[in-house]
Structure 1
Amino acid sequence: MPTAIIADDEDLQRHDLKRILQIVWPELRILAECEDGGDALDAIVKLQPDIAFLDIRMPEINGLDVARASDGKCRVVFTTAYDNHAIEAFKLGAIDYLLKPITEERLQQTITRIQQQLEAGALPQNLMQVMAALDQQLRAPQEAERIRWISASSGNTIKLFPIEEVLFFESDLRYTRVVSANDEGHIRTSIKDLQKGLAPEQFWQIHRSIMVNPHAIARARRDEMGNIFVELKNHKEQLKVSQTYAWRFKSM
């Protein structure tokens, strides 16, 4: 019996997809319904479903990063409300997407394709290429909208950081640290909101609360427990990489 998980932060969308799946593929067993990317990744690792239906836009860990971190453990079908040029990225690899609102007819096409893959025992190809293309399209701000400077507070002082001099951003519940080689400050902007104003690959997210400038990375190392830490060229702090973003250092 084929198995699946559904991940979407909107209850109505999640329940509606499950309802239609029960109509077009009654043999499919839904193992879990997840409200965010973290739960989806845990479910993939623990339950090992054949298919993961992942909403692209989810809080903290989005569907793209869940797909990367799952590392080919299951087939992925993305769900998205964005009918724009980003969809062209799906043509680069053997992966499917469902445009919201999901219709029974469109879902049936996806199910037929998945069933053929399951019968052939074939896994989707070029997943990382698709992820990179989607990142470019979905996350790229227009040139005029990109962040050039960061105004950050330090005590009673406001400091200006050119974006290219920032080594990393680190968030907690209230503030985000802005750290350069010789200085730091704090802003109230979250990691998620910062990403909207940064060019693709300008900063790498390595933890749900950390983004690092890849040009500032000196090396990455594993400790005896298998945890990955990033060492910086011009700063003594070492940054821990969460398992979700370990794919960036997969060759280690």
Structure 2
Amino acid sequence: MTTALIADDEPQLLDEIQQLLADAWPDLTIVARARNGTEARRLLDELRPDVAFLDIRMPGIDGLTLAGLAPQGTRLVFVTAHAEHALDAFEHGAVDYLRKPLTPARLAATVQRLRQQGAATPEKLRFLQAWTGNTMKLMDVEHIAALRSELRHTRALSQGGENLLLRTSLGELIEQLDPQLFWQIHRGSVVNARAIERIERRDDGELWVHLRGQIHPLPVSRAQRGRFKGM
């Protein structure tokens, strides 16, 4: 059973999205509906649905901010009237970006993509590869220190100081990595737990992760601080 949350501040649009989903994906279970970003965040944390259909402009917490706070296993689809946020949406690992008004055909294409992802069980990545000119470079995932989002691409940083620019979004890579080893510490940053050298708590209360082979530490978002309790 695949579960979903839908969030929109207009009740009529909530009803419309739910009906279109019922037609396009009959076996999808809508476990919650939210009228604002604050409510959506609470429900995401509580229910951890497989998919979240999020409006971008909502009271409380906007959809893009909410995406950075969503559980790691929840796939995100943005449903909005505003085209200008598409790049930001994909930077947050969105599966798709739907423009209002929704059409059954367009939603059906999104549903097909989500269902294919849900059915697929890819092997965990062992190597990352990228072309630089006429040369292919490889990086063993065990040697990765951090992965950082760069729009639709991802920067892979090794513990030896090397880096690769991958033509794959961070969201897509996360699905292929071991979540017990690779920890998302911020909406645009994932670190290899074995590469963590130390955690620094600064005077302002913010947490920073220092990694082997990296000069600059990475910040931990408020939503991810719980991972480091007791460390």
TM bin (shorter chain):
0.5 to 0.7
What amino acid maps onto 2:81 in structure 1? A
TM-score by length of 1: 0.49
Within 5 Å, give how 1:128-167 maps onto structure 2. Answer: 129=150
Partner of 1:52: 52
Residue 59 of structure 1 deviates from its aligned partner by 0.7
Partner of 2:222: 246
CA contact (8 A) 1:68 1:128 kept: no
Partner of 2:80: 80
Higher strand share: 2
SS in 1 for 2:58: coil
| 92-101 or 109-118, larger mean C-alpha shift | 92-101
Q: Distance in 2 between the 1:117 and 1:36 partners?
A: 28
* Unmatched 5+ stretches in structure 2: 123-146, 153-201, 208-220
Partner of 2:2: 2
CA contact (8 A) 2:8 2:35 kept: yes
Q: Number of residues paired by the alignment?
A: 143
SS in 2 for 1:221: coil
Q: From the CA coordinates, give the structure whose radius of gyration is larger.
A: 1
Partner of 2:29: 29
What amino acid maps onto 1:51 in structure 2? V
Partner of 1:42: 42
TM-score by length of 2: 0.53
Q: Distance in 1 between the 2:117 and 2:203 partners?
A: 39
SS in 1 for 2:30: strand
Residue 73 of structure 1 deviates from its aligned partner by 3.3
Partner of 2:204: 220
Residue 81 of structure 1 deviates from its aligned partner by 0.2
1:87–1:101 Cα change, 3 Å: same
1:90–1:63 Cα change, 3 Å: closer
Residue 72 of structure 1 deviates from its aligned partner by 1.5
Q: Distance in 2 between the 1:30 and 1:96 partners?
A: 18
SS in 2 for 1:220: coil
Q: Distance in 2 between the 1:220 and 1:76 partners?
A: 32
* Unmatched 5+ stretches in structure 1: 132-217, 223-227, 229-244
Residue 95 of structure 1 deviates from its aligned partner by 2.4
Offset from partner CA, 1:136-181 (integer Å, 9 cap, x none)? xxxxxxxxxxxxxxxxxxxxxxxxxxxxxxxxxxxxxxxxxxxxxx
Q: Aligned pair 1:107/2:91, yes or no?
A: no
How large is the Cα RMSD of the aligned pairs? 3.2
Higher helix share: 1
What amino acid maps onto 1:87 in structure 2? A
1:91–1:51 Cα change, 3 Å: closer
